[in-house]
Amino acid sequence: MHAPHPIDVAAKASGEPTFREIGVGPWEQTHPGEPRPTDPKYDSQLLDEGDRRNVLDRYRYWTVAAIKADLDARGRHDFEVAVENWTHDFNIGSMVRTANAFQARRVHIVGPHKWNRKGALMTELYQHVENHPSIAELVDCWHNRIAGEIAAARAEAGAAALHAHQAAQRGDTQALAARTAQVDAAEARIRELEAARVIAMDIIPGAVPMERYAFPKRCLLLFGAEGPGLSDKALELADDVVYISQFGSVRSINAGAAAAVAMHSWIAQHAVIGGVAE
């Protein structure tokens, strides 16, 4: 029998590994004397048994449907992510989970239909996840969607400009101001949509370092699998190829970790950051 390692003996003696409790117990314990809520957003089983799920505290005791509806009502961010699934990479689950945490507008799985949901921790339930047979099809769809939104914004700007003109003729300064603001907002949205880009995240010759890259607000981020990186077609169809600066010996960090770093860079540049955690 081996003698135990001295670090392990000292670790055991430290008594350190005590952890705070995550989540909440049954409603009667956490809110003694308070009436049990009847709002349908609450799940009666969770109220009975407590809620130890890996969800933010604001969603304690809520049903999955109520959480998804709340996320949609709060609005999602303007970036979308796509993951190539040619090698059935186990990091896809982790990417879906990160996309949920950072509220990506949509998640696209490219290639074979089935993917490894293990690391997603059920977050796919709260996320808009789409399948695409190929990068070419996905990029085509995405460009069409952007073009459609630009056309809609142009129509809106045109109609508002006409109404502004009519208001000016009537001498209605209040309506004129409101319609002019509407034109400005639609034009700002058009500029944002016209600046949309497809961004391949990979380390290849000619790629630019992410730390100096200004993410367009509206964008589609392409991630490849561990090992091979993105397919040739993905690199060909991207507007920009961006890499995470590497300072050590490895070519890359873990694919799930790299996707998180890239999505977080968008967040740091564009998201509204809240205050101290509650």
Q: Which is nearer to a copy of itself, 14 or 29 (CB)?
A: 14
Q: Does 144 engage in binding with a copy of itself (CB under 8 A)? A: no
Q: Does 61 engage in binding with a copy of itself (CB under 8 A)? A: no
Q: Does 35 engage in binding with a copy of itself (CB under 8 A)? A: no
d(CA 113, CA 90): 14
Q: Does 5 engage in binding with a copy of itself (CB under 8 A)? A: yes
AA identity, residue 277: A
| Residues between 72 and 91 with contacts to a copy of itself, criterion CB under 8 A | 77, 84, 86
Q: Which is nearer to a copy of itself, 173 or 246 (CB)?
A: 246
Nearest distance, CB of residue 224 and a copy of itself, angstroms: 8
d(CA 199, CA 210): 11
Helix (H, G, I), strand (E, B) or coil at 109: strand
Report the residue from 133, 151, 158, 170 that binds a copy of itself according to the rule CB under 8 A.
133
Q: Does 209 engage in binding with a copy of itself (CB under 8 A)? A: yes
Sheet with 79-84, strands from edge to edge, namely 129-132, 107-110, 79-84, 219-223, 197-201, 240-243, 208-209
At a CB cut-off of 8 Å and minimum separation 6, what does 56 contact?
A: none
| Residues between 226 and 265 with contacts to a copy of itself, criterion CB under 8 A | 227-235, 243-254, 256-261, 264-265
Token pair 């989540």 in the structure block, residue: 23
- Give the count of alpha carbons within 13 A of 132, CB side only: 20
Q: Does 13 engage in binding with a copy of itself (CB under 8 A)? A: yes
Q: Does 2 engage in binding with a copy of itself (CB under 8 A)? A: no
Q: Does 8 engage in binding with a copy of itself (CB under 8 A)? A: yes
Q: Does 26 engage in binding with a copy of itself (CB under 8 A)? A: no
Q: Are 200 and 223 in contact (CB under 8 A)?
A: no
Q: Which is nearer to a copy of itself, 33 or 248 (CB)?
A: 248
Start-to-end CA distance of the chain, whole Å, equals 49
Report the residue from 69, 136, 159, 175 that binds a copy of itself according to the rule CB under 8 A.
136
Nearest distance, CB of residue 169 and a copy of itself, angstroms: 45
Nearest distance, CB of residue 88 and a copy of itself, angstroms: 12
Q: Specify the DSSP class assigned to residue 24.
A: B
Structure tokens, 277: 């955690």
Q: Which is nearer to a copy of itself, 157 or 225 (CB)?
A: 225
At a CB cut-off of 8 Å and minimum separation 6, what does 192 contact?
A: 78, 216, 217, 218
Q: Does 97 engage in binding with a copy of itself (CB under 8 A)? A: yes
At a CB cut-off of 8 Å and minimum separation 6, what does 19 contact?
A: none
Give the residue among 211, 157, 215 at the shortest CA–CA distance from 186.
157
Interface region with a copy of itself, contact rule CB under 8 A, candidates 27-35, 166-174, 183-191, 269-277:
269-277
Q: Does 112 engage in binding with a copy of itself (CB under 8 A)? A: yes
Structure tokens, 205: 């010759």
Report the residue from 19, 32, 35, 169 that binds a copy of itself according to the rule CB under 8 A.
19
